[in-house]
Amino acid sequence: LPAIFEKAIPVIEQLEKAGYEAYFVGGSVRDMLLKKDISDVDIATSAFPAEVKALFKRTVDIGIEHGTVLVLWEDEEYEITTFRTESTYQDYRRPDEVTFVRSLEEDLKRRDFTINALAMTKEGAIIDLFSGVADLEKRLIRAVGLPQERFHEDALRMMRAVRFMSQLDFDLEPATAEAIAIHHELLTKIATERIQVELTKLLLGKARAKGLLQFIDSELYRYCPALSSAKESLIQFSQLMGIFPTKNIAWTAFLYYLEISENNVEAFLREWKSSKQEIRFIKLALKLLNARLTDAWSNRMLYDAGLPLALQIEELALVINPQLVPTVDLEEQYQRLAIKDKSELNITGDDLLKKMNVLPGKWLGDLLAELEQNVIDHQIINDQKLLLAWAIKHAHPKK
Ligand code: ATP
Ligand code: MG
């Protein structure tokens, strides 16, 4: 067994010693069989949450109503979830009530896809009640049970299907695909935040084109914020090559292909429930991308970007337009900047107010911005005396 599982064996043993069943489940078992890197292992058990808590010294209630207890063990954390069924699907969403059960089979039945419904004992024996291993070999995403019923219960699973296609480079089993084509409209019942999580994983997947084309063909895109009339742009976007390095760069490329203008970035991303920080970053990145696609890097662009973002934008610009001439010395050009941050400017607002003996006002910020721009453009040397002399000559403060 991979080390990450070995480390967790004492946790399973602790549960077994107390007479409960416990297994590794879900994504980690799938990813192990695919020989992919595993980030965290989840454990399912017949013990009820209170019983789990009684067995371990350090626990955190992270979702007790859904049966999940976080167990801190040595320097690791494990999500331990009680076997459960999800009986009451009110409105095509995640159920608000779950029923804890003592049977692994019941628990595996409620999982979304056969490849996600695998369990493994601490000895490494695979429990495969729905032919998940065969589907891993055939590289297929297949709903557990009747696909139409499963998407009707929880419409988010349709987005999960296309994101797993992208992450794993798998195809959709035909009946599963057909069920999505029938139920696509139910996606309107799902909170945007949850759709966004899945779309982001799709965008970051290695088989992005495959996931996106299914997202388009199945018409799921029609029920996503601000995408209902974007079919052509989405198709164009699906033809873009390369893997995105980060979530924000993925969304920057997405917005570029959707032809979202700088003025509309905020409204678009708000609809998608992006955070303020993400909006700020993507706005800047999109502006730099547009600039780089038409011009070489200016000092100002590099200064605004910082080196890591500049390198990412350079790479993205080149995959979007392979005809662009690559910037060979981007890093050197960056290192040659007179200043790399406002804090390196050798004068502050306070310095100016004191030395000029004037009152603060909007003019002060404008003046500092001008000084900054001139230093970046190598028009003024970043020296306090020279900056002050220039300021006195050019400022129009109120005395
Ligand atoms: P990732 O590597 O992205 O974490 P994962 O398979 O672990 O992939 P999670 O969202 O972490 O996905 O879910 C863990 C497991 O819970 C899944 O493997 C699946 O068995 C089950 N699951 C998650 N969401 C659903 C859902 N909406 N419907 C049914 N089962 C689900
Ligand atoms: Mg997971």
CA of 159 to the centre of ligand 1 (A): 12
18 has a pLDDT exceeding 90: yes
Domain boundary at 132, 166, 189, which? 132
Q: Does residue 15 sit in the same domain as residue 103?
A: yes
Task: Write the pLDDT tens digit of every residue in 289-303.
Answer: 999 999 999 999 999
Q: List, in sequence order, every residue forming a beta bridge with 99; answer none if it has no partner.
A: 85
22: CATH:
3.30.460.10
Residue 22 domain-assigned (yes or no): yes
Q: What is the mean pLDDT of residues 55-69?
A: 93
399 has a pLDDT exceeding 60: no
Q: Which long-range contacts (CB under 8 A, 24 or more apart) does 49-58 make?
A: 49/82, 49/100, 51/18, 51/20, 52/15, 52/80, 52/82, 55/14, 55/15, 55/18, 56/11, 56/14
Task: Write the pLDDT tens digit of every residue in 240-294.
Answer: 999 999 999 999 999 999 999 999 999 999 999 999 999 999 999 999 999 999 9
Residue 311 belongs to what domain range?
243-337
**Alpha carbon nearest to ligand 1 atom 2, residue:** 27
**End-to-end CA separation in angstroms for the chain:** 76
Q: Does residue 330 sit in the same domain as residue 361?
A: no
**pLDDT in the model for residue 271:** 98
pLDDT class of 398 with cuts at 50, 70, 90: low
Q: Does residue 99 sit in the same domain as residue 67?
A: yes
Ligand nearest to the CA of 38: 1
Q: Is the CB of 156 under 6 A from ligand 1?
A: yes
Atom of ligand 1 lying closest to residue 153 CA: 28
Q: What is the mean pLDDT of residues 302-328?
A: 97
Pick the range with the lowest mean pLDDT from 191-195, 223-227, 317-321, 361-365: 361-365
Q: Which residue has the higher pLDDT, 356 or 155?
A: 155
CA angle 365, 368, 374 (to 5 degrees): 140
CA of 28 to the centre of ligand 1 (A): 10
Q: Does residue 18 sit in the same domain as residue 115?
A: yes
Mutate to test the pocket of ligand 1, among 116, 142, 198, 202 (most ligand atoms within 8 A of CB): 116
Q: Is the CB of 173 under 6 A from ligand 1?
A: no
Residue 143 domain-assigned (yes or no): yes
* Neighbouring C-beta atoms of residue 148, cutoff 10 Å: 16
Q: Is the CB of 183 under 6 A from ligand 1?
A: no
Q: What whole-number distance in Å separates Cα of residue 57 and Cα of residue 74?
A: 11
In the numeric block, which tokens belong to residue 70?
A: 């976080």
81 has a pLDDT exceeding 60: yes
Residue 368 domain-assigned (yes or no): yes
**pLDDT in the model for residue 97:** 76
pLDDT class of 162 with cuts at 50, 70, 90: very high
**pLDDT in the model for residue 90:** 56
**pLDDT in the model for residue 86:** 79
Q: Is the CB of 157 under 6 A from ligand 1?
A: yes
Q: What is the mean pLDDT of residues 177-194?
A: 97
Q: What whole-number distance in Å separates Cα of residue 164 and Cα of residue 31?
A: 12
Q: What whole-number distance in Å separates Cα of residue 150 and Cα of residue 147?
A: 5
Q: What is the mean pLDDT of residues 194-217?
A: 98
Q: Is the CB of 163 under 6 A from ligand 1?
A: no
169 has a pLDDT exceeding 80: yes
Residue 63 domain-assigned (yes or no): yes
CA of 27 to the centre of ligand 2 (A): 5
CA of 331 to the centre of ligand 2 (A): 37
Q: Does residue 108 sit in the same domain as residue 64?
A: yes
pLDDT exceeding 70 applies to what percent of the chain? 97
Q: Does residue 99 sit in the same domain as residue 4?
A: yes
Ligand nearest to the CA of 109: 1
Atom of ligand 1 lying closest to residue 111 CA: 30
CA of 24 to the centre of ligand 2 (A): 12
pLDDT class of 64 with cuts at 50, 70, 90: confident
**pLDDT in the model for residue 91:** 61
**Alpha carbon nearest to ligand 1 atom 27, residue:** 157
| Greatest distance between any 2 Cα atoms in the chain | 84
The ipTM value here is 0.98
Q: Is the CB of 205 under 6 A from ligand 1?
A: no
Q: What whole-number distance in Å separates Cα of residue 47 and Cα of residue 154?
A: 26
**pLDDT in the model for residue 94:** 64
**pLDDT in the model for residue 65:** 87
Q: Does residue 77 sit in the same domain as residue 21?
A: yes
Task: Write the pLDDT tens digit of every residue in 321-342.
Answer: 999 999 999 999 999 999 999 9
Ligand nearest to the CA of 25: 1
Phi-psi region of 357 (alpha: psi -120 to 50; beta: other; left: phi over 0): left
Ligand nearest to the CA of 144: 1
Mutate to test the pocket of ligand 1, among 112, 115, 196 (most ligand atoms within 8 A of CB): 112
Residue 106 domain-assigned (yes or no): yes
Q: What is the mean pLDDT of residues 197-219?
A: 98
Residue 399 domain-assigned (yes or no): no
Q: Which long-range contacts (CB under 8 A, 24 or more apart) does 62-69 make?
A: 65/98, 66/98, 67/98, 67/100
206 has a pLDDT exceeding 60: yes
CA of 111 to the centre of ligand 1 (A): 8
Ligand nearest to the CA of 114: 1
Q: Is the CB of 292 under 6 A from ligand 1?
A: no
Task: Write the pLDDT tens digit of every residue in 82-103.
Answer: 999 976 655 666 666 789 999 9
**pLDDT in the model for residue 282:** 98
Residues contacting 398, CB < 8 A, separation 6+: 358, 359, 361, 363
Domain boundary at 301, 318, 337, which? 337
Q: Does residue 318 sit in the same domain as residue 261?
A: yes
Residue 378 domain-assigned (yes or no): yes
Q: What whole-number distance in Å separates Cα of residue 103 and Cα of residue 139?
A: 28
Q: What whole-number distance in Å separates Cα of residue 310 and Cα of residue 302?
A: 6
Atom of ligand 1 lying closest to residue 160 CA: 27
389: CATH:
1.10.246.80
Quick one: how far is CA 173 from the chain centroid?
Answer: 26
- Which secondary structure element, helix H or strand E, spans residue 373, and what is its range? helix 362-376
**pLDDT in the model for residue 369:** 95
Burial class (CB in 10 A: 0-12, 13-18, 19+), 245: middle
Domain total of the chain: 4
CA of 317 to the centre of ligand 2 (A): 32
**Alpha carbon nearest to ligand 1 atom 5, residue:** 27
Residues contacting 150, CB < 8 A, separation 6+: 112, 143, 144, 157, 179
**pLDDT in the model for residue 105:** 97
**Alpha carbon nearest to ligand 1 atom 21, residue:** 111
Q: Does residue 211 sit in the same domain as residue 257?
A: no
Q: Around 299, how many Cα atoms within 13 Å sit in the side-chain half-sphere?
A: 15
